[in-house]
Structure 1
Amino acid sequence: SLSPAHIEEEGLRYHDIIQQDYRDTYNYLTLKTLIGVYWITKYCPEAKYVLKTDRHLIPDMRYPSFCSGTGYVFLGDVVQRIYVASLTMPRLHLEDVYMGKCLAKLKIEPTPPPNELLFNHWRVPYSSCRYSNLITSHGFHPNEIIQDWQHLQSNKHNPCQTTG
């Protein structure tokens, strides 16, 4: 795993770490997501799209339609509406279900992706070609993510080029 020094270096370099004072456990996934929704509302209100990714949660048919927490995309203006709706709704520890409940309150039905292979809640074997055409995959060690990201960046102009 990454050391605190690596995390601090990441934050100083990319300014992409948001910290709050709570224990980062499964029961706080909704809080974590709402912190992100608040941050987008406050600092990026002009965002056209927002991608939220996380680990897979198992659907339960008693809940309204919702997208897997592995990843979903919001229109930027919907993020603000979700934040406002969340202020009057009791928290639920299943964050993807909670987001579905917020959308139901707003009378917004989630739309499935145009291609079922874009969002994966399982581990998709890495190749730069495959990864240039998907949004989420799951089950990687942090070091693998860094290595694959670096490889993908070095091949981003022609990710599907075959080498002989």
Structure 2
Amino acid sequence: MSFNCLFLFREITKDLCRHKILLFQSWFQGLVVLCLLVFVICLALSDNALLWSKRFSLHTQYYLLFNQIYQARAPAYRVHPKHKVTLNTINETTESSAVQPEGVQYHQAYPSNYQFVMDNAEVCKNTPFLVLMVPVAPKNIAARDAIRQTWGKDSVVNGEVVLTLFMLGLDGGADVEKLKQENQQHHDLIQSNFMDSYLNLTIKTMVIMDWLATRCPTAAYAMKVDSDMFLNIDNLVFMLQTPGIPKLNYLTGMLMWNRPVVRSKNSKWYVPEEMYPDPQYPTYTLGMGYIFSNDLPAKFVEVSEYIKPFNIEDAYIGECMKRLGLSPTSPPNPSQFKAYNSKYNRCEFSKIITYILGSSEQLINYWTDYKKPGPHC
């Protein structure tokens, strides 16, 4: 008997609870309807009713468009506070070095935001087969001189015209007059008014692409190659002369597959999710040196306007390729693209295309030995 009473009491309690919930839902729905009704009446009586309607319509259209083009035309990214760069020593400032009111520094990678302050557009009049573009710090004269004495020395390689140029940004500590004198002597410096720093390598790379697209569009191929590289230019030109090498939409080098985005703030390769939300980069070519057909720079510049930039320049180029619906191509002989070597070997250096070195002195020493008479192996 007590069990039945308890059961009955529970059922009555449940019914009361359900009844209260239904009453609350009805009351809440009624309140929402009433609020909407009051809002519509006020809106109808307002002189600005049409304006509100237009705003709502435009907002809806903008939201849909925003999602369709993946935050298009938004080239600004936030730099982590740890990586902020002091701008007090730089006299000339650009949009790339603007400090927002909140004190957070922003950069823009789209190259049309910058202008060339030193140029050598006439060097492409002879239509080079290959243009070597070397990003280098303004102060690093030693690296430029070492390259001029070694793999950047010859203007004709295997019967093809080869051009070597150096891309610089602004550096408050660099001697402007010395740079001008250096350029008057060698005619191989290009300088743009972005701040030259490690974090701005993506900007530097995109300015390189812009220069190739606007100053040297008739070249067949180009290479972005770091200043600390041993480059076997003979093997590189021979590779590009190989039958079957594409003349369009071609990007090759040491391919990087399935590389995770570094999220550790202690790493120099740190990229926050707000810059690049995907956990993994698309396939890209390692930034030490990658070769591309010279139709690609204009395409990179165009698509970069719609890609939120991040500070890993080689992976950024991989993202540009992905957005263009293209993929990097494995070189004919992948073993020719090497990153580091344990020690110099004359025979091995005669077979490769790239090696990362430790210093400019090392480059000169290795090159001198490599070019001496006699068989390499």
Counterpart in the other structure of 1:16: 188
Cα displacement string for residues 19-57 of structure 1 (whole angstroms, at most 9, x for unaligned residues): 23344332111111111111111221011111112389x
- Count, aligned residues: 157
Structure-2 separation of matches of 1:40 and 1:152: 31
1:124 Cα offset (Å): 6.1
Counterpart in the other structure of 1:71: 289
Q: Relative to structure 1, is the Cα distance of residues 23 and 143 closer, same or farther in structure 2, using a 3 angstrom cutoff?
A: farther
Q: TM-score, normalised by structure 1?
A: 0.77
- Asked which structure has the greater CA Rg, the reply is 2
Letter in 1 for 2:222: V
Counterpart in the other structure of 2:326: 108
The secondary structure found in structure 2 opposite 1:42 is helix
Q: Relative to structure 1, is the Cα distance of residues 99 and 141 closer, same or farther in structure 2, using a 3 angstrom cutoff?
A: same
The secondary structure found in structure 1 opposite 2:193 is coil
The secondary structure found in structure 2 opposite 1:20 is strand
1:143 Cα offset (Å): 1.8
Structure-1 separation of matches of 2:348 and 2:367: 13
Which of 80, 84, 98 aligns to 2:316? It is 98
Unaligned runs of 5+ in 2: 1-139, 146-177, 229-253, 261-278
Q: Relative to structure 1, is the Cα distance of residues 141 and 62 closer, same or farther in structure 2, using a 3 angstrom cutoff?
A: same
The secondary structure found in structure 2 opposite 1:52 is strand
Preserved CA contact (<8 Å) 1:2 1:142: no
Q: How does 1:134-153 map to 2 (within 5 A)?
A: 134-153=352-371
Structure-2 separation of matches of 1:159 and 1:117: 21
Identity %: 29
Preserved CA contact (<8 Å) 1:103 1:109: yes
Between Structure 1 and Structure 2, the one with more strand by share is 2
Q: TM-score, normalised by structure 2?
A: 0.37
Question: Greater relative contact order: 1 or 2 (C-alpha under 8 angstroms, separation 6 or more)?
Answer: 1
Letter in 1 for 2:299: R
Letter in 1 for 2:361: N
Q: Relative to structure 1, is the Cα distance of residues 130 and 110 closer, same or farther in structure 2, using a 3 angstrom cutoff?
A: same
Counterpart in the other structure of 1:43: 215
Q: Relative to structure 1, is the Cα distance of residues 114 and 10 closer, same or farther in structure 2, using a 3 angstrom cutoff?
A: farther
